[in-house]
Amino acid sequence: MALPPSTKPLRADTERTVRAILEAAERVLSANPAATMEQVAEAAGVARTTVHRRFASREALIGALSAWAAQRFHEAVEAARPETTPPDVALYQVTANVLRVKIGWGFAMGALPTDAPEVASVHADVLARCERLFARLRDTGVLPPDADLDWARRVYYALIHEAATQAPDTDAAMDALATRVVDTLLRGIGTRTTT
Amino acid sequence: MALPPSTKPLRADTERTVRAILEAAERVLSANPAATMEQVAEAAGVARTTVHRRFASREALIGALSAWAAQRFHEAVEAARPETTPPDVALYQVTANVLRVKIGWGFAMGALPTDAPEVASVHADVLARCERLFARLRDTGVLPPDADLDWARRVYYALIHEAATQAPDTDAAMDALATRVVDTLLRGIGTRTTT
DNA sequence: ATAACTTGCAACATCAATGACGCATGTTCT
DNA sequence: AGAACATGCGTCATTGATGTTGCAAGTTAT
């Protein structure tokens, strides 16, 4: 049972269990990617056999976890409407939204390269949107005309990844973190006066 | 035999084998951290039992691998003389040297948190040097007086990590990469004219 | 209430990775 | 050349993770 997205409406019971397992898997696996199913089960507060009843194999569990996180990820990017908002606003919004997801679902999102077509397509879609956003940033003059957009995007990803290692408690801190990422991306950490 | 650094001078034979295993381990494990000893052995062109003869356990192998890489890492930083060179020069030199090591020993360096005291002390030492270097950069005016040095250092690490995913073939490309890292760190990727 | 479903528990089967030997066949060193 | 050592190969033991099944007890939905 690899849980094909829409089998049948799950019983309230089951839904709770599945979520508990996914959340536990995220926590446990992010701490130790080689953790066993038993550790996940224990963290979820269920028996090991229950995990196996919901997810046929370890592979299936990780697949479902990736799919779940990919869904959230996609929503986070969607919600920022990066195609229609002014690019600098979009950059900030996307950053803030993605950070929110990435904190707490860090393992599921990028830990290991997922081959599930569903997840891959989400990542590809987000990648394309990101590239378009950066192109718009360049055309708007936020980035120089000769900017290496691929490098820019990779630096952006890396900064988000780095920022996500801190888990701010308040919403204000979250916003401050997003601001810092955008700021560092665009202006670096050096003194502006020089050169 | 966890290969305590200086047991006795190894036979020419053995030395070659050990190196082959370490190099193979780096390649195989960076592709798949959960790879088996057999895959490592195969990649090294030796029998699985030979790997076990040289490294008592999987743990020991990874430990030795980390120690080996830590050694190179330390040398790379040392060679830049970051305490005595002008800080901006040192920043560039350290970047270039570390990149050289990190490309090709990426797994062994940061993949998983090593608890070996030897490795930890190297990382701690490098961390301290890095902090001092950044403090000097701030005092020299390269970084603003109110710069968050911890964030700066983390961004620096992240950029190096990102840059190391490209493996330039020529020495010139290596230097260009280091330049790009330093440049992005200090100035970001945005247009300089604005704000 | 009751049928359908889920869970925990315990037991079992499997399987792959790890690690250890002994021995015949090379290599290395002196 | 000859002693000392390393390697490949086959073999075996162990262990831990994975996955399955049956059943009694508890939930959910209608």
Q: List pLDDT tens digits, range A31-64.
A: 998 899 999 999 999 999 999 999 999 999 999 9
Q: Cα dihedral sign for B50, B54, B56, B61?
A: negative
Q: Which residues contact A142 (CB under 8 A, 6 or more apart)?
A: A87, A88, A91, A186, B190, B191, B194
Residue B13 DSSP symbol: H
Tally of residues, chain A: 195
Q: Cα dihedral sign for B128, B59, B25, B16?
A: positive
B162 vs A33, A154, A188: nearest CB: A154
CATH top-level class for A1-56? mainly alpha
Could you list the pLDDT tens digit for every one of the 195 residues in chain B?
334 444 668 899 999 999 999 999 999 999 988 899 999 999 999 999 999 999 999 999 999 999 999 999 999 999 999 999 999 999 999 999 999 999 989 999 976 667 788 899 999 999 999 999 999 999 999 999 999 999 999 999 999 999 999 988 899 999 999 999 999 999 999 997 545
Backbone φ, ψ for residue A11 (5° rounding): -70, 150
Do residue A184 and residue B158 have CB atoms under 8 angstroms apart? Answer: no
Question: What residue ranges do the domains of chain A occupy?
Answer: 1-56, 65-187
Q: CA B24, CA B51: separation in Å to the nearest integer?
A: 11
Chain B residues lying within 8 Å of A150, measured CB to CB: none
The CATH architecture one would assign to domain A65-187 is Orthogonal Bundle (1.10)
Q: Is the CB of A166 under 7 A from strand D?
A: no
Q: Which positions of chain C lie under 7 Å from any protein Cβ?
A: 5-11, 16-22, 27-29
Chain A residues lying within 8 Å of B180, measured CB to CB: 151
